[in-house]
Amino acid sequence: MKVSIITVAFNSARTIEKTIQSVLSQSYPEIEYIVIDGGSTDGTLEIIQRYEDCIAVWISEPDTGMYDAMNKGIAKASGEVIGILNSDDVYMSDRSVSKLMGLMQKEQVDVVFADLILVDPIKTDKPVRYYDSSYFKPSRFRWGWMPAHPTVFVKKTLYALVGPFATDYQIAADYEMLIRILFTQKASYAYLPKPIVRMRVGGASTANWQRNWVLNQEIVKACKDNGIYTNLAMLLLKIPAKLWGARFTRKSRLAALNHHPD
């Protein structure tokens, strides 16, 4: 199956080249790479143009935020499967996409996802937390659990079915989208128990406690908008598990330190 990978960016000159290189290095043979820029002024465009012969589609124009940009990318995608890798994330090996697509084809499912590693924004070989997507089940949306979004690959037919990302969310539109796909539509899914993405902390959902407060408020809204009961107190119950992830188990620490896991 042809895979469309979408990167959205805005003033990402410090990080986007590594993201582009990680996509272009993938061994999977049928990748359409799409880059949607929000009108950067910091040198991002010059980096994109450096690789434009290897990028199927790229545009740079003002948008209303990253979820508007994601919607533009999905609209331009011609692949049967769509993955979204933000401009400060990288795939951990050149086989990351092949692993996910192999699982999707083997299990004959509509959605696949895996684990990721959150790293220091400067020293990207320094792991900060292991995001273990095995905790996720659709019934746990009410408790604040979701698969690691940068690892999620979705058949495009599902996006056509559920509609675009909701642009009235600042941070949690990906959470709300996955509720529509995995809870409301009950899409079939499979989990790959490996880390495949390295994500810098300090992005929209991991920047500071104020952003996390907004995130949790938006998760409550996302659940309410889709008929799932939750509240802030229920969401806070996942904090001990997140703190445990920050400590790292022996297995996850070894995986985090391995730049090219099999």
- Is the residue at 231 inside a domain? yes
pLDDT score, position 62: 96
- Give pLDDT tens digits for 145-177: 999 999 999 999 999 999 999 999 999 999 999
Q: Strand, coil or helix: what is 44?
A: helix
Quick one: which of 66, 20, 56 has its CA closest to 177? 66
pLDDT score, position 143: 92
Residue 262 has pLDDT above 80, yes or no: no
CA angle 141, 210, 10 (to 5 degrees): 85
Residues 6+ apart with CB under 8 A from 251: none
Quick one: which of 215, 217, 190 has its CA closest to 205? 215
Q: Assign residue 223 the CATH number of its domain.
A: 3.90.550.10
Residue 20 binned pLDDT confidence (cut-offs 50, 70, 90): very high
- Give pLDDT tens digits for 50-60: 999 999 999 99
How much is the average pLDDT of 175-187? 98
pLDDT score, position 205: 47
Mean pLDDT of the chain: 90
The predicted model scores a pTM of 0.90
Residue 238 binned pLDDT confidence (cut-offs 50, 70, 90): confident
- Is the residue at 220 inside a domain? yes
pLDDT score, position 261: 46
Sign, CA dihedral 125-240-194-98, equals: negative
- Is the residue at 253 inside a domain? yes
- Is the residue at 217 inside a domain? yes
Instruction: Compute the distance between CA of residue 180 and CA of residue 186 in angstroms, rounded to an integer.
Output: 8
The token pair at 59 is 């545009």
Residue 126 binned pLDDT confidence (cut-offs 50, 70, 90): confident
pLDDT score, position 252: 54
pLDDT score, position 213: 86
Q: Which of 5-14, 15-24, 228-237 has the lowest mean pLDDT?
A: 228-237
Residue 204 has pLDDT above 60, yes or no: no
Number of domains in the chain: 1
- Is the residue at 180 inside a domain? yes
- Is the residue at 262 inside a domain? no
- Is the residue at 200 inside a domain? yes
* CA-atom Rg of the chain in angstroms: 17
- Give pLDDT tens digits for 186-196: 999 999 999 99
- Give pLDDT tens digits for 75-112: 999 999 999 999 999 999 999 999 999 999 999 999 99
Domain of 17 in residue numbering reads as 3-257
The token pair at 202 is 């300090």
